[in-house]
Amino acid sequence: MSRLPDPRFWAGKRVFLTGHTGFKGTWARIWLSKLGARVTGYALAPATTPSLHALAGSWGLEAETIADIRDGTRLGAALQDCNPDIILHMAAQPLVRRSYAEPDETFDVNVMGTVRLLEASRSIEALKAVLVVTTDKVYSNDESGRHFVETDRLGGHDPYSGSKAAAEIATATYRDSFFRQKGVHVGTARGGNVLGGGDFSEDRLVPDIVRAAIAGEILDIRSPLATRPWQHVLDCLNGYFLFSEALFAAKPSAEALNFGPSPAEAQIAVGAVASAVQVAMGLGETWRDTSSADKPREMQTLGLDPAEANRSLAWRACLSQAEAIDLTARWYDQWRRGGDALALVTSQIDDFVKGSQRHVS
């Protein structure tokens, strides 16, 4: 089983979290706060209604700024006010299909937003560690089905993937040109496809299932045979937090790490995930294949090899892909029945920690 974040480490740490209004960012600020961190958020207002950020309220935040990551003036002021020990950069334009419609915006947010953050961070006196979150899609994917390792060539067949690969290069440049000589350790985290309750984003599988269920409609799936490295949001965040601890302690064995399910675990196709979520929510299997050759290209196969994170951080996914699907479905099912979103998140964090500790003991 995996190591877990150390509450003794995080207690009192000032954390500057970008993208805190997003699905993964909301889970991150709640868990970080439960660990004792003092979290300052910086992000745009949520893009959807409902949003997990709005449902959870301000719980877990010491302060927040609602602004664009490319606004250097406001970003710099927020960083100075926080004077963080650790920066966790999760703000992004994260959608592949939107990147085809808005390629310039996607590159501007994902590359220049990262550059703005790194530039503003150079003057932060307390700073010891920066973790930039990119994606499993940064690799030049030849559709061979192999699981990518951190030394594989970066690239991108779509604007989103290309922008994140470019953000990796920009981060490495700032690390080598400015941060290394100051003793600030900078890393990039490449996480697989994340499942979890409270995601209401457009063009994502589970939110689309929930929206279709609420509207009483049949779910359309554009690539039901595509495979992805599915993992629960808590497994992914656990990796980010452990990596941040290692960067802060100046003990990183790698400057980029993959976080995803073991290659030994069979990859699950999009259609199979949709069916499993629908069944777990008591909806029955009701989806249709809307794949078409004239739609924007998306990779059919994608896999990560997290062996380096296993070795260097003692991190591995605590939940199987089937368990991640079930936990996600239960969150949405309970929320649809009137459950409190924040209580559901905190309860699943507690259960995740307790379950991991039982396996370790």
Q: Which of 24, 109, 106 is nearest to 69 (CA)?
A: 109
The confidence score (pLDDT) of residue 283 equals: 87
The confidence score (pLDDT) of residue 88 equals: 99
The confidence score (pLDDT) of residue 266 equals: 74
Q: What gap in Å lies between CA 313 and CA 47, rounded to an integer?
A: 34
Higher-confidence residue of 12 and 2: namely: 12
- Mean pLDDT to the nearest integer, 321-338: 95
Q: How confident is the model at residue 290 (pLDDT cuts 50, 70, 90)?
A: confident
- Across 63-67, 74-78, 141-145, least confident range: 141-145
Per DSSP (E only), the strands in 226-349 are: 227-228, 231-232, 256-259, 268-269, 287-289, 303-304
Burial class (CB in 10 A: 0-12, 13-18, 19+), 294: exposed
Helix 233-248 and helix 23-34, axial crossing angle in degrees, nearest 10: 60
Q: Which of 252, 147, 224 is nearest to 192 (CA)?
A: 147
Q: How confident is the model at residue 358 (pLDDT cuts 50, 70, 90)?
A: low
- Mean pLDDT to the nearest integer, 295-308: 83
- Mean pLDDT to the nearest integer, 205-222: 91
- Mean pLDDT to the nearest integer, 279-308: 82
Alpha-carbon distances of 2 from 52, 236, 314, 344, rounded to whole Å: 27, 11, 6, 23
Q: How far is CA 40 from the centre of its chain?
A: 18
- Mean pLDDT to the nearest integer, 126-151: 94
| 69's tokens | 């990551």
Does the pLDDT of residue 282 top 60, yes or no? Answer: yes
The confidence score (pLDDT) of residue 54 equals: 98
- Across 119-128, 278-287, 308-317, least confident range: 278-287
Report domain extents, the chain: 11-356
**In CATH, which superfamily holds the domain spanning 11-356?**
NAD(P)-binding Rossmann-like Domain (3.40.50.720)
Q: Which of 288, 240, 26 is nearest to 133 (CA)?
A: 240
Q: What gap in Å lies between CA 40 and CA 84, rounded to an integer?
A: 9
pLDDT in tens, 144-201: 888 999 999 999 899 999 999 999 999 999 999 999 999 999 999 999 899 999 999 9
Instruction: Please give the share of the chain, as a percent, with pLDDT higher than 70.
Output: 98
The confidence score (pLDDT) of residue 361 equals: 39
Number of residues written out for the chain: 361
Q: How confident is the model at residue 328 (pLDDT cuts 50, 70, 90)?
A: very high
Match 């259960």 to its residue by tokens.
351
Residues 147, 316, 154, 67, CA torsion sign: positive
The confidence score (pLDDT) of residue 294 equals: 61
pLDDT in tens, 239-272: 999 999 999 999 878 999 999 999 988 788 999 9
pLDDT in tens, 9-31: 999 999 999 999 999 999 999 99
- Mean pLDDT to the nearest integer, 110-137: 98
- Mean pLDDT to the nearest integer, 339-346: 98
Query: What one-character DSSP code corresponds to residue 251?
Result: -
Contact status, residue 240 vs residue 189, Cβ threshold 8 Å: yes
Q: How confident is the model at residue 274 (pLDDT cuts 50, 70, 90)?
A: very high
- Supply the pTM of this predicted model: 0.95
Output the average pLDDT for the chain.
94
Does the pLDDT of residue 295 top 80, yes or no? Answer: no
